[in-house]
Structure 1
Amino acid sequence: MTNLADNLTATASKHGDRPAVRLGDTVVTYRQLQDRAQRVATLLKQRGVGPGDRVGLVLPNVLEFPVLFYGALSIGAVVVPMNPLLKGREVQYYLEDSGASVVFAWKDMASEAGKGAIEVGIECITVDPATFTDDLAAFEPTTEVVSRAEDDTVVLLYTSGTTGQPKGAELTHFNMITNAAVTAETLTHLTETDMVMGCLPLFHCFGLTCGLNASVLSGSCLALIPRFDPIEALETIQGAQVSVFIGVPTMYARMLNAEGREKFDVSSLRSCISGGSAMPVEVMKNFESAFDCIILEGYGLSETSPVASFNQPGMERKAGTIGVPVRGVEMKLVDIDGSDCPTGEVGEIAIKGEPVMKGYWGRPEATEEAVQDGWFFSGDLGRQDADGYFEIVDRKKDLIIRAGYNVYPREVEEALYEHEAVAEAAVIGIANDDLGEEIGAAVALKAGSTVDAEALRAFAKDRVAAYKYPRNVWIVDELPKGPTGKILRREISAPEGV
């Protein structure tokens, strides 16, 4: 019997006076975090919420998020984190699908969240930072943490829903405890003296596990940024003396290309971690040169809590790869017939072990399709080299088939990133009567840079095979991104006339 919230209890007893989370100049210690979480537990109990009940959270990265998160966990409830940018009808879907009993919403999001709550018939509690701590003072702390079985669900994390409605991945206490431990102990080597950058959304698995839960386990401090901005991130690194930065490739690219980045002192950084999507090699090389640090790239999904593989400290680092499986994980590549792929061949990544989800909430058929004999089939295509290192080739659904040839968007994007004017690139397939699909590329340029589409097309043509280069290139101000900053190819379409 265990509970993810036990990590907060243990750290608060050991490092109670140390900072747990900070936002700007405001700091919450571990003792304060525990006390406020215990009062949230009482608030929920008085509303009839208990073990197994679902509690919705609609908050950005603010000090109140970890308070509510650990407060709900401590009474055995299941947390349903949601993107605070969701509209009322979207919140309604999450609340209905999860069967939530109550939802907490940040004051700026309470109107939309409230609309969803009204439709479902549950209470929406507005979280106002000006009164939140005083409001909690009216509740006595519940000091007991409810024991839960290892396979009890602790969080419902809704996937991005590339096809159909989003599905809630059921992550267990065992999933999240072990993945936080792997992150803290083997990937980032966190201690109570570390300051971790909390710019990844806490409602997303990457930020929740690798940012919040790993920090609480280790007694580190998490420096929060409600919404990523490259200058604010650099200011936080300098001001808070951030030692561990955890982000997605677009965050690194934006800091690298930020005007005036040279004036910031980032010498406190000792470890940079990247995940969420493939890191363009050119971005990695240029960032490391400019910031004098090493980026370790890894891989995972919401369904794997999320970390599955990594370029791990103390091992050879291979740029452009996602490293090897982490402790407690097995990975393999499977071809279309379900057979294991030989070394060097492309196949679908399948994952087995400690972080693999319990299943999709209320969707047994989807669970059976995704998890077979304990192996989770990721939908990502990769290859493995002779040393056991995995490389992401692309999403299975993003594969472009042009005139019978397989074209992996990432390979073409890597070529475009080599151009000095390119800040971001996304390659997609465009329907074509003769070829099935043609190659298209949407490109955002670095500030102050100029280059035309024809020059970029020629640049790519010189670097990839004739069937791969993008015949259609168009310049955009920016590319659409998900909540973590991951570029969303599925939301990109070619302009008229392309």
Structure 2
Amino acid sequence: MTNTPANDGFGTITVAAILAESAARHPESVAIIVEDEETTYGQLWKETLSYAGALRARGIGPGDPVALLIPNVADFARAYYAVLALGGIVVPVHALLKAREIEYALRDSGAKLLICAAPLMTEGVPGAAGADVDVLTVMATDAADGTPRLEAEAAAAVPIRGYVPRRPQDTATILYTSGTTGKPKGALGTHFALMEQVNVLLSDTFDLRAGDKIFGGLPLFHTFGQTCVLNAGLRAGATIIMCPRFTGPAALDLVHKHEITVFFGVPTMYVALLEAAKANPGRPEALRYGISGGSSLPVAVLEKFREAFGAQIYEGYGLTETSPVASFNHVGVSPRPGTIGTPIWGVEIEIARPEIIDSIEFLPRGELGELVVRGHNLFKGYLNRPDATAEAVVDGWFRTGDLGIKDDDGYLRILDRTKDMIIRNGYNVYPREIEEILSQHPDVVSAAVFGVPHEMQGQEIAAAIVRTPNSTTTAEELISFAKDRLAAYKYPRIIELLPELPLGPSGKILKRELAATYKGNTSAAGADAE
């Protein structure tokens, strides 16, 4: 795959420089901790060069896509930067995908090779076989199945001496979107967009310092964990405490054991952390603040976290196509709960009319519309999908599909995804508003609101709720709680009480799964025509 444009100057840039430069500046500092194993920056770069040597011996070079199916361990970083150091393209694969889905990602990206963690080979190997792609394994305790081991090939190969320079608009990553409609699309991330994102996050958005210990539980195959934790963390000279399999108790244990200073998570992680803290109270003194993204953070969760941990959560917003951060409640400035802050440096976010699809027509401040983004952080399109790219990027602005408001101070507030909006009896209903109310109930751990078909109303409002352990609060009581606080057309008539909510690989609640599995056999307070 050739992706070097002509006549674009002589400047070069590569994401691989993140690890190379930090290894030169902090060779003895610990870069990554996984359980009891510590890897210094110097070790990590040396091992990365060896991995790259093995990949080069297999013919991997500039512009070649290489897929990674690896959990949050040091081998993800080694393989990630090894591919980039060769000038290749990293194709991270979600760790929860099945063989058929893996095969699709490999075929669509044109991957030349799959580097697969041994625990994930059950799905990875048949997926690669279906796409006719060779497999190298990492994390293997033996090679009884005959799959070549990257570690062994790296030990026998000649390490590369340094990274291959790339042009700013060369492709660095192909990240697949969730595919809520149709097949997943491969978003092309450039070296420039990813590097500029990291530089802006460190200089003007986050407060990450050399020596910080940051929580590494966000999946590294996802843009949030990859950019904000791995790339920004290593660029800052911090230590990343990996959490290969997230649970609330496991995360809380790492926070205390390693004296983590900055916690990165999605809202469901903060909910799980708060639940774990009920059984193991005590404020972690080293924790300075938390960072949340991926989906809207209920204000009630933010307040509970501040009370339990004595630390503030700063919420931001972004998408795979925006590398990912587009706006943020900047650390150092008091956050405004319920908002996603202001655009990061060099990025513009405006509100446009969602019904006009072939051009961008801005709305006045305070009016509800679709968030559109323009700036250095944009991807360069969807792989082999020019029509989808043209639909997503109009007049140089990326259409997010999210509905929101921008106030007179420039702060942004998300109401919902356009596809998640519920139309009940002709009225627009935004699930986020209802979730905020339900989250205020003391027995509600988490809530997800979605629409279900209804013969008279068009759609009815339903909510799936996880209660606190041993709670006796009924669905009818929760409906009444919401009814007292919301307009008649907004409150949920249907409540499902579930032991847990379905989550995607990045920790997002899968509302489409809740809607698809709704059977109509739940508690309700009557779907009246109010």
Cα deviation, residue 373, structure 1: 2.0
Contact preservation (8 Å) 2:95, 2:505: no
Aligned to 2:198: 180
How far apart, CA to CA, are the structure 1 residues paired with 2:67 and 2:108?
11
Structure 1: how far apart are the matches of 2:266 and 2:19? 26
Matched, 1:431 2:431: no
Separation of aligned partners in 1, 2:506 and 2:130? 28
Residue 259 of structure 1 deviates from its aligned partner by 5.5
* CA displacement at 1:144 relative to structure 2: 2.1
1:37 aligns with 2:48: yes
Matched, 1:369 2:369: no
Where does the alignment leave 5 or more consecutive residues of structure 2 unmatched?
Answer: 1-11, 143-149, 523-530
3-state SS of 2:184 partner: coil
1:300 matched to 2:318: yes
Q: 2:48 matched to 1:24?
A: no
Residues 350, 378 of structure 1: 8 Å contact kept: yes
Tell me what 2:292 maps to: 274
Alpha-carbon distance in 1 for matches of 2:223, 2:203: 18
Does structure 1 conserve the Cα–Cα contact (< 8 Å) formed by 2:18 and 2:235?
Answer: yes
For 2:43 and 2:223, how far apart are their aligned partners in 1? 24
* Structure 1: distance between partners of 2:18 and 2:341: 28
Aligned counterparts of 1:206 and 1:129: Cα–Cα separation in 2: 27
User: Match of 1:345?
Assistant: 367
Judge conservation of contact 1:184–1:215 (CA < 8 Å) in 2: no
Contact kept in structure 2, 1:110 and 1:124, CA below 8 Å: no
CA contact (8 A) 1:170 1:359 kept: yes
Q: Which residue is equivalent to 1:232? A: 250
What amino acid sits opposite 1:436 in the alignment?
A: G
Question: Paired residue for 1:196?
Answer: 214
Alpha carbons of structure 1 residues 425 and 214: separation in structure 2 relative to 1, 3 Å: same
* Corresponding residue to 1:242 among 260, 266, 271: 260
Q: Which amino acid aligns with 1:410?
A: R
In structure 1, the partner of 2:486 is: 464
CA shift digits 1:163-216 (9 cap, x unpaired): 001001100001111111222232322221101110000000000000000011
Superposition pairs of residues 10-409 of structure 1, within 5 angstroms? 10-128=21-139, 130=141, 133=151, 135-258=153-276, 260-335=278-353, 336-337=355-356, 338-409=360-431
Partners of 1:383 and 1:58 lie apart in 2 by: 38
* Alpha-carbon distance between aligned partners in 1 of 2:473 and 2:120, rounded to the nearest angstrom: 40
The 1:35/1:264 distance shift into structure 2, 3 A limit, reads: farther
Counterpart CA distance in 1 for 2:156 and 2:253 is 36
Q: Per-residue deviation at 1:137?
A: 2.1
Equivalent residue letter for 2:36: D
- What TM-score, normalized by structure 2, do the two folds share? 0.92
Asked if the contact 1:78/1:153 (under 8 Å) is kept, the reply is: yes
The Cα RMSD (Å) is 1.3
Among 448, 458, 464, the residue aligned to 1:442: 464
Relative to structure 2, which stretch is displaced further, 253-262 or 384-393?
253-262
Tell me the secondary structure at the aligned position of residue 108 of structure 1.
Answer: helix
Q: CA deviation at 1:133?
A: 4.7
2:435 aligned residue (413, 428, 441)? 413
AA of the residue aligned to 1:479: L
Q: Give SS of 2:241's match.
A: strand
2:419 match: secondary structure: helix
In 2, distance between residues paired with 1:5 and 1:469?
50
Matched residues in 1 for 2:287 and 2:55: separation? 39
- Between the aligned partners of 2:279 and 2:25, the Cα distance in structure 1 is 38
Number of residue pairs matched by the alignment: 498
Contact kept in structure 1, 2:283 and 2:309, CA below 8 Å:
no
Partners of 1:193 and 1:357 in 2: how far apart? 31
**How far did residue 361 of structure 1 move?**
0.7
Whether 2:511 is the aligned partner of 1:496: answer no
Deviation of the 1:116 alpha carbon: 1.3
Mapped partners of 1:104, 1:264: distance in 2? 41
User: How far apart are the structure 2 equivalents of 1:76 and 1:134?
Assistant: 22
Using the alignment, how far apart are the partners of 1:419 and 1:363 within structure 2?
Answer: 45
Which position in structure 1 is the counterpart of 2:145? Answer: none
Query: C-alpha displacement at 1:303, in angstroms?
Result: 0.6
Shift of the 305–138 alpha-carbon distance from structure 1 to 2, 3 Å rule, reads same
For residues 330 and 137 of structure 1, what CA distance do their matches in structure 2 show? 47
Contact (CA 8 Å) 1:322, 1:389: kept in 2 or not?
A: yes
In the TM superposition, residue 130 of structure 1 has moved relative to its aligned partner by 4.3
